[in-house]
Structure 1
Amino acid sequence: MARIIVVGAGLGGLSAAARLGALGHQVTVLEQAAQVGGKLGLLRRDGFGFDTGPSLLTLPAVYRDLFLKTGKPLETELELVPLDPTCHYRFPSGLELDIPNDGPAGVSRAWSAALGAKAGQDWTAFHRRAAQIWDLTRDPFLESPLNGVRTLLGLARNPADVRTVAPWLSLRGLGRKYLSAPEQRMFLDRYATYTGSDPRRAPAALATIPFVEHSFGAWYIPGGLWQLGAAITDRALSHGVKIRTSEPVAKVLADPKVEGVRLESGEVLPADVVVSGVEAAHLYRDLLPGPEGRGGRRVIDKAAPSLSGFVMLLALRGRTPGLRHHTVLFPGDYDAEFDHVFGTGAQAGTPAPVTDPTVYISAPDDPQLRPDNDHEAWFVLVNAPRHDPATGMNWDAPDLAESYATKILDIMARRGLDVRERLLWKEIRTPADLERDTRSTGGAIYGSSSNGARSAFLRPANRSPIPGLFLVGGSSHPGGGLPLVGLSAAIVADLVGKA
């Protein structure tokens, strides 16, 4: 039995703690905030409730495995409800489209009905290619720890497999090979943002994201997805895991192997193993500032940071006819959005708030998240550059957040969802707020992006160069999003068992 400290009670840290506790280890979780959950949070006010992080669960098998490995099945703890439609899309061409949650064939039928038979056939062909990429990459790149160049060499033994994955091709490039309708290409581009990335630079392998969503379904938990984190917390506690909130860690102690951590209070906690669930950049730059963290910092410095998000939580009176759980309002110029967010193209070196952004709305028809049946709680998100006052965007600039929120509400009105006269109150969360709340660098949602053909190999590994130190969560391998964070916890639990 090892003494294990988990730094950070986000979903990755909690999942790893539950798995390690079930294996018989002595586990303590240290969380700097007053509550657990990390980015998977909940805000309640005046009878309204808002998920402040993910609003959709895909690939639930990852969490079914977690619950089975640690006790009773997932469905004994939580109710998973399929969302249908998965999402409603409004395109600049005027097309409106519901994407059904009844499998890949249903998605192709929806495209056929909207744009003609060829669009349906194109999407079927694209999905078939995405399925092939999934089959080739799932085990070596998602369910196993990366083994440096050897992981890539294993794929390279078969030239046909390399051609299928096409590491030289971007997600945008893959879409152009299969999809002729601009609406379908725009639809595909959005999936790059699931990893905080630019579709023009993100690898074609991200085609696996829509493949997973359409093949394994889209799910919701009544009462909010924050309950997934709460249920995992309960499971960890049931195995004797200790969770200490409001306990920020100042330093990971290692010389040369892990010895424990020092809290900001000065208390030193010894450990045989430390599992870091905080952003990798925070770990290697702040918690390991000396030479022991130099190798990790080199990895971080090579990777492009992910995008962030500007969020409004809207408490609305009245109901919206025909409102879906998820709605996406696309802009006229998607490339301009990515240029603003990443400081590329016309915005080279100067990221800025997006002038004409994609607007994402999550508005669950959930009685547990509103005071009564005559109100709605909306989570509104637009992609945004990170908070970086020194060289980029300063989201703490006076009046910026409020004026930008007003602009987004005006854009929503022009695109057919005018809620300005129904607004009771709003809460704004900028990338700067996200950085303060979660200690993610600049409020980067996913740590590093997947921009670039070698991006998977630039993401920090689950086993660090320091003996006894492991990384879990969205900023480490295999990446961000609920399924991948859950997979990272499974990988780390297995690595610790073999350490």
Structure 2
Amino acid sequence: MARVAVVGAGLGGLAAAARLAALGHQVTVLEQARQTGGKLGWYARDGHGFDTGPSLVTLPQVYADLFAATGGPLEDAVDLVRLDPAVDYRFPDGSRLLLPGTRAAIAPAVDAALGHGTGAQWTALMQRAAAMWRVTEQPFLRSPLAGAATLARLARRPSDVATVAPWKTLRGLGEEHLAHPALRMLLDRYATYSGSDPRRAPAVLATVPHVEQEYGSWYVRGGLRRLADAVAERAVERGARVRTGCTVERVLVEGGRTSGVRLAGGEVVRADVVVSAGDAAALYADLLPPSGATRGVRRDLARSTPSLSGFVLLLALRGRTPGLAHHTVLFPVDYDAEFDAVFGTGRHRGAPRPVADPTVYVSAPDDPATRPDDDSESWFVLVNAPRHDPAGGVDWDSPGLADRYARQVLDVLAGRGLDVRDRVRWCTVRTPADLERDTRSAGGSIYGTSSNGTRAAFLRPGNAAPVPGLFLVGGSSHPGGGLPLVALSAEIVAGLVGPA
């Protein structure tokens, strides 16, 4: 039996704790916040409730596997509801696509919304994405990343390399398969699932919409925070101890391997294994003592592009919106201008800034748990935003900036047909600076590093650190961000640590 300290009670850390405790290890989870869940948070006020992080579950089998491996079925722990429609897409030319929640219905819906033949275009792209998924799922998502050796294994079959096309961007794949500009815009959106720019992100990210459409988009009744609660409960049932309000100041290294962690205030928690579930950049910059062993990882992190962040409005609204889907996406006229602003590229080279005319994402679950009565709504509104960077980019703590930008986002919503300005009971604003403070992610980067560039996946820190006894889980380590991938990172780490 190993003593295991898990640093951070986000979903990746909780999943790792549950798996390792089920394997017989003595597990202690240490979380700086007063509650568990990390970015899978919950905000409640005056009867209104909001998920403040992810708004849907994809690839639910990953969580079914997690619960089966730790003692009981997923459906006994949470109530998953399949979303149909999955998303209401509204394009700048006035067209609208209510994307069905079942794969067989998608092509006819695309044809009806965007014109004859567009459904066939999308179907052909998803067939290519399905082939990519078959090639990459096991070696890239369910196995430890072995740097160039992973690509070398793939390269033994030239047909697999051609399928994945590592030289091609997501934008390039869309231009190859999709003639309709709305469909290309729809595909570009999936780069933001990894905090990336579709003009630089790899084509293999087309597997994200394939997974959504093949396995469905799901909501957890009562809010997605219930998934984090259920995983935390499972970890405790298996014997893990969860301590909140504990800030880890240092990962201790003695004799060349981890020996535990030191908390704020000086308490030392001894451990044979440390699992870091926080931001990888913060781990290597702040929690680990500098050493030759970690030089390569720190160099790769310095070379990578941080992921985008998000600017959020939590809107408590009077009344109901007719025909409102669970998810609504309102696209701008100039999508490239958004990525230029967020990443400081193109026309905004070197100078990231809030997006003037952003894509707006609205999550409004029709769930009594989110509202005080049936004549109310609770909207989580998100726009892509540059990370908090007072020294070289946007200072989101600058006086007045957050309030001005909140009004601007409400104006954009109104201009695109969802004017709720006279229905607002109250509005809570969360900026990238708030996200950085709450989660210790660098600048509020949602996914750690982005997938911008051909080598981005290989610059992302691996699950086994170069310091023996130290492992990483969560969205800033391999295989990346998003609810399925953070759970897969926990599965990988449990396999690396092994049974007691």
Asked if 1:363 is matched to 2:364, the reply is: yes
Match of 1:352 in 2: 353
Distance 2:289 2:116 in 1: 58
- Could you state the TM-score of these two structures normalised by the residue count of structure 2? 0.99
Pair 1:197-2:196 in alignment = yes
Q: Distance in 2 between matches of 1:471 and 1:106?
A: 39
Aligned to 1:456: 457
Corresponding residue of 2:149 = 150
> Structure 1: which 5+ runs fail to align?
none
Deviation at 1:117, TM superposition (A): 2.6
Please, which runs of 5 or more residues in structure 2 have no aligned partner? Answer: none
Aligned to 2:20: 20
Q: What code does the residue aligned with 1:211 have?
A: H
Partner SS state of residue 63, structure 2? helix
1:280-359 correspondence runs (5 A): 280-291=280-291, 293-359=294-360
SS of the residue 1:150 aligns to = helix
Q: Partners in 1 of 2:33 and 2:415 — Cα distance?
A: 39
SS at match of 1:313: strand
Helix, strand or coil at the partner of 1:251? strand
Alignment of 1:12-161 (within 5 A): 12-103=12-103, 105-161=104-160
Amino acid at match of 1:411: V
Moved over 6 A (4+): none
Please say if residues 310 and 430 of structure 1, whose CA atoms lie closer than 8 Å, have aligned partners that are also in contact: yes
Cα displacement (A) at 1:302: 1.8
Distance 2:8 2:177 in 1: 42
Cα deviations by residue, 1:231-266 (Å, 9 ceiling, x for unpaired): 000000001101111100010011311111111110
CA deviation string 1:407-461 (max 9, x = no partner): 0001100100000000000000000000000000000000000001111111100
Q: Helix, strand or coil for the counterpart of 1:53?
A: coil
In the alignment, is the contact (CA less than 8 A) between 1:295 and 1:465 conserved in 2? no
Tell me which residue corresponds to 1:181: 180
SS in 2 for 1:117: coil
TM-aligned CA deviation for residue 336 of structure 1: 0.1
Shift of 1:498: 7.5
Partner SS, residue 380 of structure 1? strand
Measured in 2, the distance between the counterparts of 1:398 and 1:289 equals: 36
Q: Does the C-alpha gap of structure 1 residues 198 and 321 become closer, same or farther in structure 2, counting only changes over 3 Å?
A: same
- Aligned position for 1:377: 378
String of CA shifts for 1:332-384, please: whole Å, max 9, x gaps.
00000000000000000000000000000000111111000000000000000
> 2:178 is aligned with what amino acid?
L
User: Aligned with 1:425: secondary structure?
Assistant: strand
**Mean Cα displacement is larger for which, 235-244 or 288-297?**
288-297
For residue 198 of structure 1, give the secondary structure of its aligned residue in structure 2: coil
1:401-416 → structure 2 map (5 Å cutoff)? 401-416=402-417
For 2:141 and 2:252, the matched residues in 1 are separated by 29
Alpha-carbon deviation of 1:299?
A: 2.2
Per the alignment, in what secondary structure is the counterpart of residue 146 of structure 1?
coil
Give the distance between the partners of 1:446 and 1:390, measured in 2 at CA. Answer: 21
The DSSP-based 3-state class of the residue aligned with 1:433 is helix
> What is the identity, as a one-letter code, of the residue corresponding to 2:23?
L
Residue number in structure 1 paired with 2:218: 219
Within 1, Cα distance between the matches of 2:231 and 2:36?
A: 10
SS in 2 for 1:391: coil
2:244 aligned partner, one-letter code: T
* Distance across 2 between alignment mates of 1:480 and 1:446: 5
Report how many residues are paired. Answer: 498
Residue matched to 1:262: 262
CA contact (8 A) 1:285 1:293 kept: no
Determine the C-alpha separation between the residues in 2 that align with 1:424 and 1:319. Answer: 13
**Identical aligned pairs, as a percentage?**
65
Counterpart code for 1:405: A
CA RMSD of aligned residues (A): 0.9
Instruction: Please give the per-residue CA displacement for 1:268-317, whole angstroms capped at 9, x wherever unaligned.
Output: 11110000000000100000142254333122112110000000000000
TM-score (norm 1): 0.99
